[in-house]
Amino acid sequence: MLEHDLYEPVYNYLELVFRGRLKPLYGDLRHITAITANTGGNATGIWSKPDLAMIALSRQKYGLAWRIDLHGFEVKPAGTCSVQSVHEALNHSSLVHFTHLVWHCERWDARDERCASIIERCSHFGVGLITFKRPSDPQTYFVQLPARRHNPEPDAFDEFVETRISPEDREKLTAWIAELR
């Protein structure tokens, strides 16, 4: 299976399961998920294009302010994930708050040398690791390691949204921000 064949199943997982990880226990969550692999123009760099992205606005029930986070997802088909893939996902941390490597790994085994080296690098750099066995079954996706928060420049966030999110979704985000201020 090719990488681009996995975008739609991973998108479905993000919409059906992953967003639940972002919702505060008693608070609110609004989100936008997008396939961003082919957006952002040609001048953005070879490793600066997360395959998918999720913008999450969240607020604790008793919190005073909303928080906005941008998640980036680098997708790797079976047999193609390597330590280099971790570095590719890490490069996204200049653009997103949380970067994740999403790997089609039918036989995850933490004792396996490849699995161990990938999760060790992810842990070292704060890259989240999500593995899955069957692309079309969201129940086979497993968060091996949660991502740590990175702090991209605010202008990088705005540039990402302006160049990689559809006009309709940008309009929705702008409306939410105006409503929640």
Which residue, chain included where needed, has tokens 């606005």? Answer: 57
List pLDDT tens digits, range 162-178: 999 999 999 999 999 99
Residues 6+ apart with CB under 8 A from 112: none
- Sheet containing 141-145: give its strands across: 28-35, 52-59, 67-76, 98-104, 128-132, 141-145
Torsion sign, CA atoms 113, 118, 119, 124: positive
List pLDDT tens digits, range 28-86: 999 999 999 988 755 455 567 899 999 999 999 999 999 999 999 999 999 999 999 99
Q: Both tokens of residue 133?
A: 């066995």
List pLDDT tens digits, range 111-139: 999 999 999 999 999 999 999 999 999 99
The predicted structure's pLDDT at residue 39? 85
How far is 25 from 53, CA to CA, in rounded Å? 22
User: What domains are defined for the chain?
Assistant: 3-180 (3.40.1350)
* Single pTM value for the model: 0.95
